[in-house]
Structure 1
Amino acid sequence: YPVVEKSMQQSYYFTTTKTAFAWSKMALDKLGYVIDEEDAANLTLTTQKDGLKIVVTATDIGDNASAVNVQINAEGGESRDMLESTVDSSLTEIRDELALYQYSKSDTKMFESTPLDKAFRMAKNALVARGYTVTISDAGKYVVAGSKSAKPVKAACLINSMGNNGVAIEITAYVNGKKLSESAATELAASEVAALIKYLGRYDKLDTK
């Protein structure tokens, strides 16, 4: 019998493995996959559909990110090509569903002659001013992130040195698209990034040294 094995990974930023695991269960349920076994301690579940055996695991991939790994095994009497296309279409539908849980939009704001620690404080101020509760404040890695209770959005600022004492503040908004329509999710992400960039623009007029 032909045997086909394929896998994919979906990453989620500023998301715990527990949340990523919950999202994977919701995604499989939505697609009509029946969960056979669930190992909550190891964040792993097994499911089957149309002769496919699927193992899904949520893992911590560092840098405040989690990933959902999906592995599909299939064996059968049909041709290898048929089997492969069945596995591919299953992987694609799972990937597309998992992707809905986190839309993101990024933009970068540059500053000249600005120390990294100063830029870090500026980014933190911008998040607070925009109504975020700061959840991660890592001065060593120059990462600051926050979330809002009223909206399904998180925002993160990553500060990078650009040489010649310049800095770049990269702002990303992450929106849970399952709580909104696709257009509303992309719109919310874009408007949050734009508002944070605009707030940081106030520092252009000040002496930031």
Structure 2
Amino acid sequence: MTETGTIRVGLVDDQALFRAGIRMLVSSQPDLEFVGEAGNGVDGITMAAEARPDVILMDIRMPVMDGIESTRSILAAADARGDRPPRVIVLTTFDLDEAATRAIRGGASGFLLKDTDPEFLLAAIRTVHAGTAVIAAAATRELFQHFDSQAQAPAAPDSFGTLTARENDIFLLAARGLSNAEIASAEFLSEATVKTHISRILGKLSLRDRVQLVVFAFENRLVD
């Protein structure tokens, strides 16, 4: 985020007309700044390093390098520099897309359909940047249920054992895609308290956001 409080947005997509439309949409918003674009995953890595966007909209299927590998490389490079990694929203044309699950495992913070409503896309950028919610957590869970074929559950990581009983309950509800408001209602807590618990859970498990929490839960077979 810039000193003026605007969210810096980058775009990686191989369709020039789509890039132009997104550039115009993002630039029309006073709290968003369009800082760079690229037409393939390799150029996306360069753009991310030079423009340092807060949020990147990343197409999955592109020539030269796809969005999955580009996402991994961008996040790894940010970690190596000691920078805060950008939030990556992958763009897909398919509602249930195995490539989206692989991108999320690679570090993306969620996914959107490319034909989503413009207002929803703008809200998604703000939401993912804030880190207080995720894009389609329930849909992410559905993706993993649909495509995850891992046969045997691994042992839960030691970090999971550091959660308190309350944090464990909230973790399981969040992993099923419930919102903060839904968790607050189920656990008879305030939304602010739930948000605090979620932040502590993410910290203890070294996770970036709630989408990564869903990935963690399903990869370790911590939810049905």
Instruction: Output the TM-score relative to the length of structure 2.
Output: 0.26
Greater helix share, 1 or 2?
2
Higher RCO (Cα < 8 Å, 6 or more apart)? 1
- From the CA coordinates, give the structure whose radius of gyration is larger: 1
Greater strand share, 1 or 2?
1
Instruction: Output the TM-score relative to the length of structure 1.
Output: 0.27
